[in-house]
Amino acid sequence: MPPILWLIPGLPLFGFVALYLSAGRMPHRAAAAIGVGSIGLATLLAFAFAHWFLGASLPGDVYLETAWRWITIGGFDPAVAFRLDPLSLVMMLVVTFVGFLIHLYSAEFMAKDEGYGRFFAYMNLFVAAMLTLVLADNLLVLYAGWEGVGLASYLLIGFWYRDPANGAAARKAFILTRIGDTAFIIGLFLLFHELGTLDIATLMARAHETWATGSAVANAAAALLLAGALGKSAQLPLQTWLPDAMAGPTPVSALLHAATMVTAGVYLIARTHELFELAPAVELTVAVIGAATLLLAACSALNQHDIKRILAYSTMSQIGYMFLALGVGAWTAAIFHFMTHAFFKALLFLAAGAVMMRLNDEHDIFRMGGLWRRMPVAFVSFLIGASSLAALPLVTAGFYSKDMILWGVWSSGPAGPGLWATGFVGAFITALYSFRAVFVMFFGDARRTPSGRYGWCIVAPLAVLSALALTGGFVNIPSALGNVNSFSDLLAPVLPARQEVTTASTTQALVMAATSLLVLLGVYLAYLTYIQRAQVLRRIATSSPARALAGFWFGGWGFDTLYEHIFVRPFLALARLNRNDIVDACYGGLVVASRTLNRALSRTVTGRVRAYAAWVAVGSLAALAIALFLQ
């Protein structure tokens, strides 16, 4: 291959520049052609590179391409270099391909929006930044992409900027992720200070040579990187921005949840997993945070009315699964789940968007109902997406990746079964809330009549993503069901499997069967509640403790209120207190004092020579007196 790997993030970036400089004066067709075309070309190029890479068998399975040397200061000379290895290959393919489908969908979905060109400009920037992030050979370049993703998400969440609420949501996302970013950059300083490089491969090798497992510095560095990942991936305790980020257009949510942004944290931890292996305490924290987030978000998803908020909480929960996998060292499982999640979450968002656009932008699932006959395309896509999210056994992609995570967690050591139990319960709730959405939206009495119809730009991405959400999991099938390991074998050079705890494969099969049963039970419970409307369940659901709990979960476990009281209010109070700028008042006082003194001394300038002479005499006398007394 010619050295044109840089074109993969470069093409979307050119698209962004061209669209942004046109400042909205470009006709819609041209904007769509540039916006979708740049990602399309990048996708083709990514597949060409993948084809070449898989056939080439390079030494160490790494292809490096240095674009230029960024700066040279002392011993610090980071290069803007791109690195293609199996891990970044998978990420790159998913980001470009899913990103392309979402762009294609947006070409029709956003057709009536006045900010059409601006929309595609920001979307291109988003993808370009994410591709820089995943292809970076160097933590500094990765950080540049990381910040680019943050900026693009801010611009897109606040895309409809005329509504102040959208601006507030955008700021919330930006500020909360910024907390993590600050920890991340401090982590970079620490790593550079201790190990003298930011080049990822060298860094990991030196970390292993320099630090003992569990040493304080290794723990600190891993914890700082983890804080960065928590912010970007919306995990506890920095998770509250994600549900509000739904203020942006639906394709933005699809892109943000499936391909870019929230998976950046997962990628960062997988990329630096050797560092995390040196810090077992932090690694365990990753797993615990993942487990807590997945349960918490799943419970919240169970109570939402807004379809986009249901999906937002489900993303948080699924990323929690990925963190759980990362925390127990099942790196491959996390990346596998990232891939299948990208397929079905993009599908769910696009299908939800397709439903909403024909119901006059209706978000409330309880005002939909009975839609399956009227919009079969959206129904089938959403059903497939929800099945994959719920990990319906055997036929969906989500089943294989979630099973891989749960098995990885189960066999991970002493903490395994406890963590596995949360994932297990989470799987039940996931099935419940995904099918709650399906049943409420598409079955029951029809309440609204849809208008319009879909063009091929909407149908094609839905079809492709549906196919992937069903079959995407067949690249890795557990031994009990046929033992296909193409995905883990592909990633093995970068993410070696931990020493397998050799348990008989019957245990694995049993664990899998238990999960499958639980998922089916969840679906059945949703069926009983929302289709059969069983009286017992009604009565439980309307009892007062259940209502209180539901209200608590609806508000995301009160985290927003908590942060409001702990951080936002005191800060605002301080700001109000300092409205007149206390520090500035000091300088203001200096001005007032000198002006007063000036006015007082001006009075002595009378023009009378004799008065001056008297002052001179008095002053000399005073000086003499002082000299005498101080002798």
Partner 1 sequence: MASVSPSQALLLAMILFALGLAGVLARRNLVFLLMSIEIMLNAAGLAFVVAGSRWHQPDGQILFILVLTLAASEVAVGLALILRIHQRNASLDADAAAKLKG
List residues near partner 1 by CB under 8 A.
Answer: 605-610, 613-614, 617
* Shortest Å, Cβ 612 to partner 1: 10
**Structure tokens that stand for 130 in this block:** 């994410």
Strands (E) across 197-323 are located at none
Rank residues 4 and 613 by Cβ distance to partner 1 and give the closer one: 613
Pairing of strands 476-477, 79-84: unpaired
Spatial CB neighbours of 135, under 8 Å, sequence gap ≥ 6: 5, 8, 9, 82, 83, 84, 88, 92
Q: Which is nearer to partner 1, 58 or 613 (CB)?
A: 613
Which CB atom, from 517 or from 622, has the smaller least distance to partner 1? 622
Q: Which is nearer to partner 1, 27 or 619 (CB)?
A: 619
Is residue 295 classed exposed, middle or buried when 0-12, 13-18 and 19+ CB atoms within 10 A define those classes? middle
Nearer to partner 1, 571 or 612 (CB): 612
Closest to partner 1 by CB, 574 vs 609, is 609
Q: For tokens 């995390």, what's the residue?
A: 276
Least distance between partner 1 and beta carbon 611 (Å): 9
- The rounded distance, in Å, linking the Cα atoms of 301 and 201 is 39
Helices (H), 415-491: 416-442, 456-471, 486-491
Least Å distance, CB 620 to partner 1, is: 10
Nearer to partner 1, 162 or 610 (CB): 610
**Least separation, in Å, of the C-beta of 596 and partner 1?**
20
Q: Which is nearer to partner 1, 549 or 622 (CB)?
A: 622
Give the separation between CA 289 and CA 324, rounded to whole angstroms: 7
Q: In the complex, what is the shortest distance from the CB of residue 613 to partner 1, in angstroms, rounded to a whole number?
A: 5
Instruction: Say whether 65 sits in a helix, a strand or coil.
Output: strand
Q: Tell me the one-letter amino acid at 210.
A: T
- HEC profile for 554-608? HCCCCHHHHHHHHHHHHHHHHHHHCCCCHHHHHHHHHHHHHHHHHHHHHCCCCCC
> CB of 617: closest distance to partner 1 in angstroms?
6
Shortest Cβ 614–partner 1 spacing (Å): 6
Q: Which is nearer to partner 1, 162 or 608 (CB)?
A: 608
Is residue 351 within 8 A of residue 381, CB to CB? The reply is: yes
d(CA 255, CA 258): 5
What element of type H or E holds 374? none
> Taking the complex as a whole, how short is the minimal distance between the CB of residue 616 and partner 1, in angstroms?
10
CB of 627 to partner 1, least distance (A): 17
